[in-house]
C-alpha cells in the first residue's frame, strides 16, 4: 500500500502523537559520567579542549558526583592523574593512589552512586603506553599481573564495577581470576571489548597527560576498518568473564554497536569519547550548531544503535534537559 492510502505525516502532526510513536527514549539513567581526578584539594582545572570538563581534586570530584547523582545519573567512571609516573605504573595500584582515594571518598559520601574503576596503565606510565614496555614493545603477558593488581586495589577501595580499557589479550580472565582469589567474586566486569585505535582520544590524552611518548597504540587497539574482529573481541571477553561489553568510540562506530547488540546477550555500553565531545562543543561555541539539539541527537543515535549505557562527558548537560 502506498500514497495516498499511506501518509507517514499523520503520525508527525503534533508533539503529543510524535511522543506516542517515539521508538527510542534517552534518559539520565542511561549515562555514566567520566571524571578526571588529580591530587590536592580545591583543584578545578579546566581541560582546554573539553569545555565544561575539569581535572578535579577528590573534594571537587565529590561535588561533581553529587550533582550527577542529583540529576538521576547512576554512575561515574574515574580516571586518575598521578603526580608521579614510572615504568611500572606503580600509581595505578598504590593503596593511596589518587583513584583509590577518590573511590573511598565517593563511596563513603554517596553510597548508592555506582563508581566504575577504569583499569589501564597509560595514565601512570612515564612512557604513556597502556602496559609494561620491553624492547620498545608493549609486553602483553608482563602487563596482565599489574592490571590484575590494579583491579584488586580498586575493588578494595570499594569500586562497584571494574572496567579494563588497556586492550591486552587475556586481561579479562586475569582480572576475573585475581578478583575471585581476593573474594571479590561478586564484582562485575565491564570490558572495553572493542576499543579502536582512534584519533578521537586526543582531548582525553591532553586531560590525562597520557599520550604515548613513542609510537602509537595501533599494536594493541583495533583497526578502525574492522568489524568482524570486534565481534571476535566481544565474544572472547564474554568467554573470559566480562559481564558487560563496551564499544569505543561511539559515533564513528554505530554499525559496530548495532552488530554487537544483535550478537550478544549481555548489556552493551558505548563510549562517546573526548573527541566526539570536543567537536560538538567547538562547533557550538562558534555558533555553527545548536548545542542542546545536536548533543541530544548524538546521544539518541548511540542509544538507537543499541547501547544500553552511554559513557559521555555530556551527561550533566543532557540530564538537565531530559
Ligand atoms: C585509557 C583510556 C583512554 C580513553 C579511555 N580510557 C585513552 C586511550 O586509549 O588513549 C579515552 C576516552 C576518551 O577519549 O574520552 N587507555
pLDDT at 228 over 90: yes
pLDDT at 67 over 90: yes
pLDDT at 251 over 90: yes
Task: Report the alpha-carbon distance of residue 8 to residue 262 in Å, rounded.
Answer: 28
pLDDT at 32 over 90: yes
What is the number of the ligand 1 atom nearest to the C-alpha of 34? 15
Share of the chain above pLDDT 90, in %: 97
- Look up 248 and say whether it is catalytic: yes
Mean pLDDT of 119-136: 94
pLDDT at 1 over 90: no
pLDDT of residue 158: 98
Please give the distance, rounded to the nearest whole angstrom, from the Cα atom of residue 21 to the centre of ligand 1: 37
Mean pLDDT of 120-126: 95
Query: Measuring CA to CA, which residue among 204, 195, 193, 197 is closest to residue 276?
Result: 204
Query: Any residues with Cβ below 6 Å from ligand 1, and which?
Result: 118, 120, 122, 130, 165, 201, 204-205, 273-274
pLDDT band (50, 70, 90) for residue 235: very high
Question: Taking all residues of the chain, what is their mean pLDDT, rounded to a whole number?
Answer: 97
Please give the distance, rounded to the nearest whole angstrom, from the Cα atom of residue 275 to the centre of ligand 1: 10
Question: What's the grid cell of residue 218?
Answer: 595501533
pLDDT at 209 over 90: no
Total residue count of the chain as it appears in this document = 322
pLDDT of residue 37: 98
Q: Note whether 223 and 229 are within 8 A (CB).
A: yes
pLDDT of residue 291: 98
Task: Report the alpha-carbon distance of residue 228 to residue 146 in Å, rounded.
Answer: 29
Mean pLDDT of 183-199: 98
Which residue, judged by its Cα, is nearest atom 11 of ligand 1? 201
Cα radius of gyration rounded to whole Å, the chain: 20
pLDDT band (50, 70, 90) for residue 160: very high
Amino acid at each position: 500500500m502506498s500514497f495516498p492510502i499511506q501518509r507517514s505525516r499523520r503520525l508527525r502532526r503534533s508533539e503529543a502523537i510524535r511522543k506516542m510513536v517515539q521508538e527510542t527514549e534517552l534518559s539520565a539513567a542511561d549515562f555514566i559520567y567520566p571524571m578526571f581526578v588529580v591530587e590536592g584539594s580545591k583543584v578545578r582545572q579546566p581541560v582546554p579542549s573539553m569545555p565544561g570538563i575539569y581535572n578535579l581534586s577528590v573534594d571537587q570530584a565529590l561535588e561533581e558526583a553529587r550533582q550527577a547523582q542529583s540529576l538521576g545519573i547512576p554512575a561515574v567512571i574515574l580516571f586518575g592523574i598521578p603526580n608521579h609516573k614510572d615504568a611500572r605504573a606503580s600509581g595505578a595500584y598504590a593503596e593511596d593512589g589518587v583513584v583509590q582515594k577518590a573511590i573511598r571518598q565517593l563511596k563513603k559520601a554517596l553510597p548508592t552512586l555506582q563508581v566504575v574503576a577504569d583499569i589501564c596503565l597509560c595514565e601512570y606510565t612515564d612512557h604513556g603506553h597502556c602496559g609494561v614496555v620491553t624492547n620498545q614493545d608493549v609486553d602483553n603477558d608482563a602487563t596482565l599481573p599489574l592490571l590484575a593488581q590494579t583491579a584488586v586495589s580498586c575493588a578494595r577501595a570499594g569500586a562497584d564495577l571494574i572496567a579494563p580499557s588497556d586492550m591486552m589479550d587475556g586481561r579479562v580472565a586475569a582480572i576475573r581470576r585475581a578478583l575471585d582469589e581476593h573474594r571479590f567474586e561478586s564484582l562485575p566486569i565491564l570490558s572495553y571489548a572493542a576499543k579502536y585505535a582512534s584519533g578521537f582520544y586526543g582531548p582525553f590524552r591532553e586531560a590525562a597527560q597520557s599520550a604515548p611518548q613513542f609510537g602509537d597504540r595501533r599494536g594493541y587497539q583495533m583497526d578502525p576498518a574492522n568489524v568482524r574482529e570486534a565481534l571476535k573481541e566481544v565474544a572472547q571477553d564474554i568467554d573470559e568473564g566480562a559481564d558487560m561489553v563496551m564499544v569505543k568510540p561511539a559515533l564513528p562506530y554505530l554499525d559496530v554497536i548495532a552488530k554487537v547488540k544483535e550478537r550478544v546477550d549481555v548489556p552493551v555500553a558505548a563510549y562517546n569519547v573526548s573527541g566526539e565531545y570536543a567537536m560538538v562543543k567547538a562547533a557550538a561555541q562558534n555558533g555553527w550548531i545548536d548545542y542542546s539539539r545536536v548533543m541530544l541527537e548524538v546521544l539518541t543515535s548511540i542509544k538507537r544503535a543499541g547501547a544500553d549505557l552511554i559513557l559521555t562527558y555530556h551527561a550533566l548537560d543532557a540530564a538537565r534537559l531530559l
